[in-house]
């Protein structure tokens, strides 16, 4: 160590009307794991895009010095030739191609007559072994889990002879076990001399894996912390990120009365829509009271989303059996429309894919699930629509110039607020929130928690599905633990701990 591999000096990058990066400096030493942290929109991804040549030389000012020489990357290929490989948050794999084909796209293994497929797959298997993925390189991408796809991306980077690996939020769609495995792998690669830059929102991961931590805020470097010498706590990092002390990451919820049972699900079983003999949810029973936040913890693939969506008007699964009671009354919700009419709402984990119409303005998204209430005889009252959108913008503190703004132009946190507004406007009694804070920054998370508190204070019931255990622990009155489609534990918020939840999963 001690050898400087990369130095980015005074990088400034402007977009029309915005200064995304303002004199940013970043120094990365040979063989270290360097974490970049900062709120959404702070400029982390922009900085990495400058480094990897996505924004070509000339569109920014400042110098990139790599291995002692000043680099002027015109395109991604240029940086890759030097061994700088970036893996984006959104995986760039073609679902209907095999692992091997994906790994060597743009880097094809040519033989005498075009592509040498035997060589391709042999090489691919070699790198798959390095990342510890036990799949044949001939398996199609669509048939493996997201966690494994992430490993394929890393193998793909290694196949390009990466010397400096950049990972943008590599664990955002992974569960805890897979995340841990991935981080441990990075530590292993470090032993072999690979240098890594990792962008992450998950501070526990950052302090676990990183040697140095650079904090970026509003397009400027704030500080670089050394994991060995400085005393680094999560609170310390958060302070750097938001520029203030977050004394409490989870807002208090004083004096909320927990009332009668609002929704009860008994012996709920759901089968997979394609493989009809596969049970995805297996004999699950849960209940939730008025004014209560119930967390559902579990690993990815535990069946939590499937449980929620099957309750929500059979939006998922086939051959659904079991009983559903709302306020003590037995109901059958066969369509999403019926579910909404019975005041049940499901807020999806995938806000871009399943939640919002990105090409439409905020006001249209806000009213979409409850259009009837601003209509008289199928005709929309535009004034009322505007009023409603404004009201929720105020209430949820959504940051946007006007409610005419297209949702696609908002940041993740604000999109999440619009999604919440949409379902709050549908006026449900029971809200099922699926990963409500995924991919949004610390400040926005806090605001989402406040909204959840307001909801239960108004007597609503909130079911919160989350893969982030601290969040489940910090917010829930009661916690259910699911694993492989079964309910494997129930505990009160007070008695729950990360260890207890993991134990419940592992014991099952």
Partner 1 sequence: MATINFKEAIRKYTMAIALVIVIIIFSVTTNGTILLSQNINNLLSQNAYVFVLGTGMLLCILTGGNIDLSVGSVVAFVGGIGAVLMQRGTNAFVAAIVMIIAGGLVGAWQAFWVAYVNVPPFIATLAGMYAFRGLANVVLQGYAVSISNKTFLNVFGGGADCYVPDFFGGSGLNITCMAFGIIAVLVYLFIQIRGRVSAVRKGYSVKSAGGFYAQSVIISVVILFLSYKLAGYKGIPSSLLWIVGVILLYFFITTRTKIGRYLYAVGGNEKATQLSGINTKRVYFFAYTNMGILTGLASILTVARAASAQPTYGNMYEMDAIGACFIGGASAYGGTGSVFGTIIGALLLGVINQGMSIMGVDANYQKVVKGLVLLAAVIFDVLSKREKK
Residues at the interface with partner 1 (CB under 8 A): 312-313, 315, 335-337, 339-340, 346, 348, 353-360, 364, 368-369, 371-372, 375, 378-380, 382-383, 386-387, 401-402, 404, 422
Give min distance, CB of 388 to partner 1, in A. Answer: 12
Q: Please, are residues 242 and 442 in contact by the beta-carbon 8 Å criterion?
A: yes
Closer Cβ to partner 1, 329 or 383, answer by number: 383
Instruction: Give least dist CB 308 to partner 1, A.
Output: 11
Under DSSP, the state recorded for 201 is S
* Spatial distance between the Cα atoms of 277 and 432, rounded to a whole number of angstroms: 27
Report the nearest approach of partner 1 to the CB of residue 172 (Å).
20
- What are the angstrom distances between the C-alpha of 154 and each of 75, 131, 134, 185? 20, 7, 14, 10
Of 493, 101, 20, 482, give the one whose Cα is nearest residue 280.
Answer: 482
Q: Which is nearer to partner 1, 346 or 449 (CB)?
A: 346
d(C-alpha 155, C-alpha 161), whole Å: 10
- CA–CA gap between residue 479 and residue 293 (Å, rounded): 9
Angle at 183 between CA 178 and CA 186, to 5 degrees: 130
Considering the complex, state which of residue 76 and residue 503 has its C-beta at the smaller distance from partner 1: 76
Report residue 348 as tokens.
């999806």
Q: Min. distance of Cβ 364 from partner 1 in angstroms? A: 7
- d(CA 74, CA 86) in angstroms, rounded, equals 15
Q: How far is the CB of 415 from partner 1 (least distance, A)?
A: 12
Instruction: Yes or no: say if 155 and 103 are a contact pair by the CB < 8 Å rule.
Output: yes
Residue with smaller CB distance to partner 1, 346 or 392: 346
Question: Residue 140 or 336: which CB sits closer to partner 1?
Answer: 336
CB atoms within 10 A of CB 321: 11
Nearer of residues 191 and 359 to partner 1, judged by Cβ: 359
Min separation Cβ 342 and partner 1, Å: 11
8 Å CB contact between 469 and 501 = yes
Nearer of residues 256 and 371 to partner 1, judged by Cβ? 371
* 115: its two tokens: 């592509």
Q: How far is the CB of 217 from partner 1 (least distance, A)?
A: 24
């Amino acid at each position: 160590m001690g050898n400087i591999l990369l130095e980015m000096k005074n990088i400034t990058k402007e977009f029309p009307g915005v200064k995304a990066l303002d004199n940013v400096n970043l120094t990365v030493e040979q063989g270290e794991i360097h974490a970049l942290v900062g709120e959404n929109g702070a400029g982390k991804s922009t900085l990495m895009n400058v480094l990897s040549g996505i924004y070509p030389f000339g569109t920014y000012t400042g110098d990139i010095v790599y291995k002692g020489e000043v680099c002027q990357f015109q395109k991604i290929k240029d940086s890759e030739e030097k061994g700088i490989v970036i893996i984006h948050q959104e995986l760039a794999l073609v679902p209907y191609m095999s692992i091997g084909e994906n790994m060597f796209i743009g880097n094809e293994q040519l033989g005498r007559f075009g592509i040498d497929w035997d060589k391709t797959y042999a090489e691919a298997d070699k790198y798959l072994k390095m990342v510890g993925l036990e799949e044949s390189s001939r398996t199609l991408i669509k048939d493996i889990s997201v966690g494994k796809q992430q490993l394929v991306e890393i193998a793909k980077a290694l196949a390009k002879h990466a010397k400096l690996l950049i990972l943008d939020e590599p664990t955002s769609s992974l569960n805890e076990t897979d995340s841990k495995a991935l981080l441990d792998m990075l530590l292993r690669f470090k032993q072999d001399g690979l240098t890594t830059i990792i962008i992450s929102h998950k501070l526990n991961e950052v302090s676990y894996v990183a040697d140095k931590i650079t904090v970026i805020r509003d397009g400027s470097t704030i500080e670089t912390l050394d994991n060995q010498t400085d005393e680094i706590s999560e609170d310390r990092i958060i302070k750097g990120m938001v520029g203030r002390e977050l004394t409490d990451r989870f807002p208090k919820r004083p004096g909320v009365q927990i009332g009668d049972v609002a929704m009860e699900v008994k012996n709920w079983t759901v089968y997979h829509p394609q493989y009809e003999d596969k049970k995805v949810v297996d004999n699950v029973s849960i209940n939730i009271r008025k004014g209560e936040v119930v967390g559902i913890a579990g690993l990815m693939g535990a069946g939590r989303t499937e449980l929620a969506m099957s309750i929500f008007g059979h939006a998922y699964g086939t051959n659904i059996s079991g009983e559903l009671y709302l306020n003590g009354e037995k109901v059958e919700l066969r369509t999403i429309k019926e579910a909404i009419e019975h005041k049940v709402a499901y807020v999806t984990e995938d806000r871009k894919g399943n939640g919002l119409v990105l090409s439409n303005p905020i006001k249209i998204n806000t009213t979409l699930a409850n259009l009837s209430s601003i209509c008289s005889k199928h005709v929309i009252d535009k004034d009322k629509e505007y009023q409603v959108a404004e009201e929720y913008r105020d209430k949820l503190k959504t940051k946007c110039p006007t409610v005419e703004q297209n949702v696609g132009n908002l940041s993740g946190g604000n999109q999440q607020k619009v999604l919440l507004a949409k379902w709050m406007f549908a006026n449900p009694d029971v809200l099922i929130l699926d990963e409500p804070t995924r991919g949004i920054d610390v400040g926005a998370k806090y605001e989402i928690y406040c909204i959840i508190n307001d909801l239960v204070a108004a007597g609503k019931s909130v079911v919160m599905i989350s893969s982030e255990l601290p969040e489940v622990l910090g917010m829930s009155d009661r916690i259910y633990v699911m694993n492989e489609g079964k309910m494997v534990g129930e505990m009160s918020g007070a008695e729950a701990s990360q260890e207890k939840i993991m134990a419940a999963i592992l014991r099952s």
